[in-house]
Amino acid sequence: MEMATFAAGCFWHVEATFREVKGVVSVQSGYTGGDFKDPGYEDVHTGKTGHAESVLVEFDPSKVTYEQLLEVFWRIHDPTQVNRQGPDFGNQYRSAIFYHTDEQKAKATASRDELQNSQRYKGKKIATQIVPAGEFWRAEEYHQRYLEKHGALSCGI
């Protein structure tokens, strides 16, 4: 099994989407990218921890490739927005790929560059950060499988 970590706004929608991908073994909502130890939602929500709402994806590379996960990531949000997605704003909602290996870094960078050159965003610059994965802090239990428990209308989708 391999791990991938993504931030694309509200983690509820991101988690639910990746759970539907064949070859994904598990998805956890949580926080990463900052330096605040053992953050909770109330800490991260302030925007002062440096952490982003993120998902940690465990996947079977014999069933789904990292490149396929990147395609899902790019499709489910607007990577040109800086520190926001839809109605959610602040650095905790930024677009980021947290790579676990040099190979993931290279693939993430190549996919970002390909998307930027595609003109899909008509001259807008992709703002997605591609940074090393740090410690991942699992979100509170009520955030796990949130949309499954509460329905899609809870995340504005």
pLDDT (tens digit per residue) in 105-156: 999 999 999 999 998 998 899 999 999 999 999 999 989 998 888 876 445 4
Q: Which domain holds residue 15?
A: 2-155
Contact between residue 66 and residue 107 where contact means Cβ atoms under 8 Å apart: yes
| DSSP 8-state secondary structure symbol assigned to residue 61 | T
Say which residues have a Cβ less than 8 Å from residue 6's Cβ, sequence separation at least 6. Answer: 14, 18, 54, 55, 57, 69, 73, 96, 97, 98
Contact between residue 89 and residue 47 where contact means Cβ atoms under 8 Å apart: no
Tell me, what CATH number does 110's domain have?
3.30.1060.10
Question: pTM here?
Answer: 0.94
Number of domains in the chain: 1
Q: Is 155 a catalytic residue?
A: no
Active-site annotation holder among 8, 10, 44, 139: 10
Q: Which residue(s) pair with 6 in the sheet?
A: 55, 97
